[in-house]
Structure 1
Amino acid sequence: MGVTLRDVREGDLPVFYAQMNEPEGMWMAAFTAEDPSDNAYFQNHWERILQNPTTLVRTVIEDAGEIAGHASVFGPPEEREVTYWIGRRYWGRGIATAALRELLRLASERPVHARAAADNRGSIRVLEKCGFVVTGNDRGFANARGEEIDELIFTLRD
């Protein structure tokens, strides 16, 4: 599966908002906004992301030209972290792995870190395919699940 990463456009945000409110996606991501349906919060959050010069954020376009999601690298140099969100209808097609590989090519600084809910097998597999290894664990409150859950911490060194 091939993907294209491009700069985020204002018109992408409604698609991101819809994707980030899909029940299955929220459950898997677990660590979401307190109220993902709060569009004003969503808009303010994305305005901050897009204005931050240290954040590399891209829209993920799948082969047919549709917006599949977004991927980004953020944080200070010694704590860079990747994150991505792929819409439910694009799961299981290799899009997340292809997008993360391309993002890591664009953002070559290492080490870079990632986090995933410990039971999110799909995201864990994506990270492993891209060379990340588990380097720790944590436990935190997952808004999407309404309870504390285990989380894995990953690092990519090379």
Structure 2
Amino acid sequence: MADGMARELSLRTLREDDLPTMFEIQLDNTAQHLAAFIDNTARDRDAYIEKRRKFLADEAIIMKVVEVDGEVVGSVGTYPIEGDYQVTYWIRKDCWGQGIATAALAALLKEVTVRPLYGQVAEDNVGSVRVLERNGFALVGNEESFAPGRQATITELIFKLSD
């Protein structure tokens, strides 16, 4: 990690009892703005937890909790959409800039061998772009998409990991 201290990052399978913590982590306004493609469950705890319970029951969705020194700091995973597999990650804002998202995605990529994998991010989400690039994803396109978290159409960058 960038802070120079030896810290232990680990992934474990997301459990239902993690969902309240995951809700709190994603509740940050700045993070939601950068993520851009959040839905109406992002501010409704009960709806958020109910939706994620369905994810837990779906064998095609892989969700991992990211822990640093035993403390939950976010999540990372993959999910199918229109026949392709996407990556997703969300790290607590106070942990940004420490290489945690990059290391968490790298750890996930060792476990998940499906290729190709895709990552899509808002064009102005520079940190997320770096996470994908540092893990070998290449920019393959962009599209204009409506971002519910911003209530606007924005440019979304599309990244692909082939091998």
Say whether the fold is shared (TM-score over 0.5).
yes
Quick one: which amino acid aligns to residue 71 of structure 1? Answer: V
* Rounded Cα–Cα distance in structure 2 between residues aligned with 1:126 and 1:4: 17
Deviation track 1:16-55 (CA, whole Å, cap 9, x = no partner) reads 1011110111011011113511122201210111000111
User: Which stretches of structure 1, 4 residues or longer, exceed 6 Å deviation after superposition?
Assistant: none
1:112-127 alignment runs, 5 A limit:
112-127=117-132
- When structure 1 is superposed on structure 2, of 30-39 and 90-99 the one drifting more is 30-39
- When structure 1 is superposed on structure 2, of 66-75 and 76-85 the one drifting more is 76-85
Number of aligned residues: 157
The alpha-carbon distance between structure 1 residues 76 and 20, as it changes in their structure 2 partners (threshold 3 A), is closer
Contact 2:20 2:49 in 1 (8 A): no
Q: Which residue is equivalent to 2:5?
A: none
Shift of 1:10: 2.4
Long gaps (5+) in structure 1: none
Shift of 1:57: 0.9
Q: Which residue is equivalent to 1:106?
A: 111
Shift of 1:137: 0.6
Q: Which residue is equivalent to 1:130?
A: 135
Quick one: which amino acid aligns to residue 102 of structure 2? Answer: T
Deviation track 1:31-84 (CA, whole Å, cap 9, x = no partner) reads 11135111222012101110001111100001x211110111111695111111
Deviation track 1:95-140 (CA, whole Å, cap 9, x = no partner) reads 0000000011100111111100000000000000000011111111
Long gaps (5+) in structure 2: 2-7
Shift of 1:155: 0.2
Quick one: which amino acid aligns to residue 98 of structure 1? Answer: A
Could you tell me the percent identity over the aligned residues?
A: 37
TM-score (normalizing by structure 2): 0.91
